[in-house]
Structure 1
Amino acid sequence: MSFRVRPVTADDFGAIYEMAKLTGGGFTNLPPDRATLVQKIARSDKGFSRAEDSQSDDLYMFVLEDPKASVIRGTCQVFGQVGVRQPFYSYHLSTLTQTSPELGKTFRNQTLTLTTDLEGSSEVGGLFLHPNARAGGLGSLLARSRYLFIKSHRARFGDRVLAELRGVMDEAGNAPFWDGLAGRFFDMTFPEADEFNAVHGTQFIADLMPKTPIYVSLLSESARAVMGLPHPTGRAALRMLEEEGFSFDRYIDIFDGGPTVTAHIDDLRTIDESDEETIVEISEGGKTKMLLAHGQLKDFKACFGMVKRAGRKGICIDAEAAELLGVKEGDTVLAVKR
């Protein structure tokens, strides 16, 4: 497999912009807006260039590249700390139980509360695969490479990590959850609000949304039906996140009602099961396919490789993986089973 994951550069703008136009809306971290994407790439470069090894509001943006064919077929992002520049809002879904002795009845009402509980967390997001590359495990390569980057730069990330999944929308790009709740407080359609949020952030939500809990029973049936559900195209991504160790803790997106899943970073499967290995031989490799990563910050690269154990001294990897990673015998890599 000739694909690898590496940090984005300014030269990748054209490919990033073309993929952004394919997202279909509701993809806040990858808006089809030229100026915003230029700013994101510049912010990513700043994050990769920062020398101090500590947690901050960095953005690290990556691309999935076939260097031999000179094509980009995917992208993903990691945020060092959310809620630094602007509050990070979520709705938390909880249950309020009330009992009336006179009626002899107990009522359990679900409520949505606007919270900033997840501030300070790190975030993985912005994962998008080109339609022509949604096979062969490339989604797994792109997604899991982020966790190896986190492990390689652990001091730059928090104890908790989150991922927001796009919620349910119709073919016209309208979101039932927005129409049933937030849309009633804003003179904006969901596509308009989504575009504004991608460019300007969520401060307008804080300015105009009610701060009191909202009874779910007062929402429209269509809004209630999609709370906490991912967009159909995001179901595979949710499964990958759950396999990694993320879980739904009843936080949902304030715009489209999609689920926000969380995990403790050090408990993530890729981070927990990966080990640093020394390359003692580069040849045909072995029969075990593994995810490999090498390099720090701007020099970080990840790819799949064929690996076999070479005694206690280290591992043997195939020549193509070595070329993709830019490694030689004696170098070390992070390795984890696919």
Structure 2
Amino acid sequence: MLVVRPITPQDYAALYSCAVESGYGFTSLPIDEDLLRRRIARAQEAFAREHVSEPGEEGYLFVMEDTESGEIVGCSGIEAAVGLTEAFYHYRLGKVVHHSKSLDVYNALETLTLCNDYTGVSEFCTLFLREPFRKNQNGRVLSRFRMLFMAEFRERFSDLAIAEMRGVSNENGESPFWDWLEQHFFTMDFNQADYLTGIGEKAFVAELMPQFPLYVKMLEPKAQEVIGQVHDNTRPALRMLESEGFKFRGYVDIFDAGPTVEVDVENIKTVRESMRKPVHIGDVADGADVILCNTRVADFRAARATIHVAEDSITVSQDTAEALRLKHGDSARFVAL
């Protein structure tokens, strides 16, 4: 069974492997030992906080484990509130109108403005599933279980959630959007800039990024074409988020111009449709296929499972109960897969 659980220090080697396999443009998983170990330690602190009344600096990082082999097959995370101690940058797409009534000229031009508009919101991040396991809806489980976690522990998260989508780049990690920025404002390549941001070195953004709105028409055609577009490998993740209610509101990444999508947490489909019921352990023949989780923070467990749903309880198999550390009478939260 593939079970999602909080990351531990023993998972470092697997997390490092995920960072290597994730490739270029995956900012939240840089290949940096110190940063990855700090992310694990920070996650452990977040899971250990029993009483949280509002979102703060917590960063929750989970791994998906094959319980038969012990192999870590992927990872997934949630930031409780971004930008509280380090600036969180985006470009905001807008419009400027140049109009002369006397000359009968009207031009509406798109602009890109550097901003910190998403400061304080929760972020779904660090979603990576290793190639051999991208089947049987494993990716859907690895993404959507976070929405169950958020539904169960609402006080830990903001009312608005976002997800940054990887933008367009080639097999060498070269971004058409960054190529234009590099040519005019920077002297570092995309991978170096992306890596520095991933390890928290963001001062150069404020120091070197253009502070005034950019006219999109000034960019090279190749750079214009990728604004708000996603990497081919990211399209399935974007479609899944859109099915949950996430929408693109005109905010893009400052390096590769990939879209950031947002949603009010109360309107996330999984949050709205999830239910919490007491658990019985028994036969689940002809049951429903769901994503199921227990209701504990530090000892959190989630997985795909078959359960029988009654009006006032659910029945799970003995194997599922053991994998998710559920006992008779415990509460569990679930949503249809």
- Residue deviations 1:16-51, cap 9 Å, x none? 111110111110111121111111111111111123
* Partner in structure 1 of residue 140 of structure 2: 140
Q: What SS does the aligned partner of 1:239 have?
A: helix
Give the aligned partner of residue 295 of structure 2.
295
Q: Secondary structure at the match of 1:46?
A: helix
For the aligned residue pairs, the C-alpha RMSD in angstroms reads 1.3
Shift, 1:307, TM fit: 1.6
User: Do the aligned partners of 1:182 and 1:209 also contact (CA within 8 Å) in 2?
Assistant: no
Q: TM-score, normalised by structure 1?
A: 0.96
Normalised TM-score (structure 2) = 0.97
1:225 aligns with 2:253: no
Q: Secondary structure at the match of 1:298?
A: coil
Distance in 2 separating the partners of 1:335 and 1:222:
44
Which amino acid is 2:239 matched to?
Answer: R
Distance in 1 between the 2:308 and 2:83 partners?
43
Within 1, Cα distance between the matches of 2:313 and 2:49? 32
Q: Write out aligned runs for 1:107-256 (5 A).
A: 107-181=107-181, 184-256=184-256
Letter in 1 for 2:318: A
Is the partner of 1:36 in helix, strand or coil? Answer: helix
Q: Quote the offset at 1:320 in angstroms.
A: 2.6
**What amino acid does structure 1 have at the position aligned with 2:152?**
S
Partner of 1:19: 18
Q: Within 1, Cα distance between the matches of 2:185 and 2:106?
A: 31
| Residues 285 and 319 in structure 1, CA contact (< 8 A), matched pair in contact too | no
Is 1:93 aligned to 2:93, yes or no? yes
Partner of 2:282, secondary structure, is: strand
Point out where structure 2 has 5 or more consecutive residues left out of the alignment: none
Asked whether 1:257 is paired with 2:260, we answer: no
Describe the superposition over 1:141-164 as per-residue Cα deviations: whole angstroms up to 9, x where unpaired: 110111111122111111101100
Task: Tell me which residue corresponds to 1:334.
Answer: 333
Contact 1:286 1:317 in 2 (8 A): no
The residue number in structure 1 matching 2:36 is 37
8 Å contact kept, 1:229–1:259 = yes
Aligned pairs for 1:66-105 (under 5 A) are 66-105=66-105
Q: Runs ≥4 in structure 1, deviation > 6 angstroms?
A: none
Q: 1:64 is matched with which residue?
A: 64
1:160-215 C-alpha deviation (Å, 9 max, x unpaired): 01100111001211111111125521210001111111113423201221211110
Cα distance between partner residues in 2 of 1:126 and 1:63: 10
Show the counterpart of 1:274: 274
| Aligned residues of 2:288 and 2:309 also touching (Cα < 8 A) | no
| Secondary structure of 2:308's aligned partner | strand
Q: State the alpha-carbon separation in 2 of the partners of residues 210 and 51 from structure 1.
A: 43
- In 2, Cα distance between the equivalents of 1:296 and 1:182? 46
State the secondary structure of the residue aligned to 2:141: helix
Q: Which moved more, 1:193-202 or 1:171-180?
A: 193-202
Partner of 2:316: 317
Tell me which amino acid in the other structure corresponds to 2:332: V
How far does residue 293 in structure 1 lie from its aligned partner after superposition? 0.7
The one-letter code matched in structure 1 to 2:85 is R
Question: Is this contact kept in 2: 1:183–1:189, CA < 8 A?
Answer: no
Alignment check: 8 A CA contact 2:92 2:113 kept: yes
Counterpart Cα distance in 1 of 2:51 and 2:331: 23
**Structure-2 separation of matches of 1:296 and 1:281:** 18
Checking the alignment, whether the CA contact within 8 Å between 1:122 and 1:160 is kept in structure 2 is yes
Percent of aligned positions with the same letter in both sequences? Answer: 37
